[in-house]
């Protein structure tokens, strides 16, 4: 059994960014000898129900999550060129699942500006039952480190730990070949972990299943960005890793101890598949029918009811 578990995974529900279908993700997870998988699509929970049902049926533990967008100031601020940071959120309990729904809903209804954005006020209000990681190079920690702002990265990391609680926030470390920025932040994340005591967790920002899928992912990104396929290729690093030694390799690079290199498999044992389940899923074909009081003559609120099938154009 692999000691590594994917905790940062995108499906085709990450629109124009993720290439993997749910069925393929689950099959590939089993092929790699992994018994758990997180789904963390960009800003949405579209795939959560399908993923939960199919993963359980296949004997793979589903971890429900999202790669949230976090506004740099607050979700109501929508000034020009103000965008967002990335943050991974994983439901550990049923409370966490409900809070994921609340966060994603409010991000769409109150914080939408280019993307559905939450903010730290919302995270403080709805942090219960959630595990968070600092996410990819688009995360607030990595962005500060990339620009040489180590002390600000340290302040932000401690702020997130305060929001989610000690033991519920992790610094996410990734190893993407041929990505210079990834190599640049790697030693700084290790240093930050040692200085703050916030544990690292190994992850891989996965957008497709196999390395040979890169060309197809290029096409998808070109549609999203309007670029040409001849432009600089950025997609050849974001597939599900092929071996189970990835987590152990990261632990060796980070000192080889739990203090500095959290085993992703140990972290995945915390969310319970039953606890993080979508509660009371709607059953297809069973809709509640509204009763019309007798004596209304087929009317409701003074208006005639539509003929049967009229709404389908029959």
pTM of the model: 0.80
Residue carrying structure tokens 């640049």: 184
More confident residue, 267 or 98: 98
pLDDT at 224 over 90: no
More confident residue, 106 or 241: 106
Does any domain span residue 255? Answer: yes
Does any domain span residue 59? Answer: yes
Does any domain span residue 6? Answer: no
217 pLDDT band, cuts 50/70/90, is low
Does any domain span residue 277? Answer: yes
pLDDT at 195 over 80: yes
- CA 115 – CA 87 distance, rounded (Å): 13
Does any domain span residue 129? Answer: yes
Identify the pLDDT of residue 256.
Answer: 45
Q: Distances from the Cα of 56 to the Cαs of 49, 50, 138, 219, in angstroms?
A: 11, 10, 31, 32
Identify the pLDDT of residue 258.
Answer: 42
More confident residue, 182 or 256: 182
Identify the pLDDT of residue 268.
Answer: 65
Residues 153-174, mean pLDDT to the nearest whole number: 96
The terminus-to-terminus CA distance of the chain in angstroms comes to 55
> What is the bridge-based pairing of β-strands 61-70 and 36-39?
parallel
pLDDT at 223 over 60: yes
Identify the pLDDT of residue 249.
Answer: 59
- Per-residue pLDDT of 21-59, as tens digits, reads 999 999 999 998 999 999 999 999 999 999 999 999 999
Identify the pLDDT of residue 311.
Answer: 36
Instruction: Check residue 234 and report its DSSP letter.
Output: -
More confident residue, 209 or 99: 99
221: nearest Cα among 203, 208, 211: 208
Identify the pLDDT of residue 99.
Answer: 97
Task: Summarize the chain as % helix, strand, coil (round to 5).
Answer: 35, 15, 50
29-43, 195-209, 230-244: least confidently modelled range? 230-244
Identify the pLDDT of residue 80.
Answer: 85
302 pLDDT band, cuts 50/70/90, is very low
Does any domain span residue 168? Answer: yes
More confident residue, 7 or 177: 7
208: nearest Cα among 241, 182, 244, 246: 241
Does any domain span residue 311? Answer: no
Q: What average pLDDT is seen over the chain?
A: 79
Domain count along the chain:
1
Q: Distances from the Cα of 266 to the Cαs of 7, 36, 134, in angstroms?
A: 11, 11, 18
More confident residue, 78 or 241: 78
> What is the crossing angle of helices 150-164 and 180-196, to 10°?
60
Tokens, residue 202? 């190994």
Does any domain span residue 310? Answer: no
Q: How many CA atoms lie within 13 A of 196 on its CB side?
A: 28
- Per-residue pLDDT of 122-146, as tens digits, reads 999 999 999 999 999 999 999 999 9
Q: What is the CATH number of the domain that holds 255?
A: 3.20.20.140
Residues 95-123, mean pLDDT to the nearest whole number: 97
pLDDT at 89 over 70: yes
176 pLDDT band, cuts 50/70/90, is confident
Secondary structure of residue 95 in the 3-state scheme: helix
Percent over 90 (pLDDT), the chain: 54
Q: How many CA atoms lie within 13 A of 79 on its CB side?
A: 5
More confident residue, 203 or 134: 134
Residues 229-250, mean pLDDT to the nearest whole number: 54
141-150, 208-217, 229-238: least confidently modelled range? 229-238
Q: Are 260 and 31 in contact (CB under 8 A)?
A: no
- CA 231 – CA 200 distance, rounded (Å): 34
- Per-residue pLDDT of 273-290, as tens digits, reads 344 444 444 333 334 444
The residue range of the domain holding 46 is 22-283
Spell out the SS3 assignment of 142-198: HHHHHCCCHHHHHHHHHHHHHHHCCCCEEEEEECCCCCHHHHHHHHHHHHHHHHHCC
Identify the pLDDT of residue 209.
Answer: 76
């Amino acid at each position: 059994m692999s000691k590594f578990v994917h905790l940062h995974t995108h499906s085709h529900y990450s629109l124009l960014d993720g290439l993997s279908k749910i069925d393929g993700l689950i099959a590939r997870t089993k092929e790699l000898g992994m018994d758990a998988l997180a789904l963390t699509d960009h800003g949405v929970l579209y795939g959560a129900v399908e993923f939960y049902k199919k993963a359980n049926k296949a004997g793979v533990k589903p971890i429900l999550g999202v790669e949230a967008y976090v506004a740099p100031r607050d979700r109501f601020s929508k000034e020009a060129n103000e965008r967002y940071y990335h943050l991974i959120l994983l439901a550990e309990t049923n409370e966490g699942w409900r809070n994921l729904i609340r966060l994603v809903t409010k991000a769409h209804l109150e914080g939408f500006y280019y993307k559905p954005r939450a903010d730290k006020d919302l995270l403080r209000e709805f942090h219960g039952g959630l595990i968070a990681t600092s996410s990819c190079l688009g995360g607030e920690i990595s962005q500060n480190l990339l620009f040489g702002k180590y002390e600000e990265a340290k302040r932000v990391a401690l702020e997130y730990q305060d929001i989610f609680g000690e033991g519920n926030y992790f610094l996410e470390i990734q190893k993407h070949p041929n990505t210079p920025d990834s190599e640049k932040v790697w030693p700084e994340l290790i240093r930050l972990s040692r200085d703050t005591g916030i544990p690292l967790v190994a992850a891989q920002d996965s957008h497709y299943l196999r390395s040979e899928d890169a060309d197809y992912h290029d096409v998808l990104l070109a549609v999203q960005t309007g670029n040409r396929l001849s432009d600089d290729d950025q997609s050849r690093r974001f597939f599900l890793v092929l071996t189970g030694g990835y987590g152990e390799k990261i632990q060796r690079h980070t000192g080889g101890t739990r203090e500095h290199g959290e085993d992703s498999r140990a972290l995945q044992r915390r969310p319970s598949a039953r606890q993080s389940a979508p509660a009371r899923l709607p059953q297809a074909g069973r809709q509640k029918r509204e009763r019309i009081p007798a004596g209304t003559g087929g009317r409701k609120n003074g208006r005639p009811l539509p003929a049967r099938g009229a709404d389908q154009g029959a």
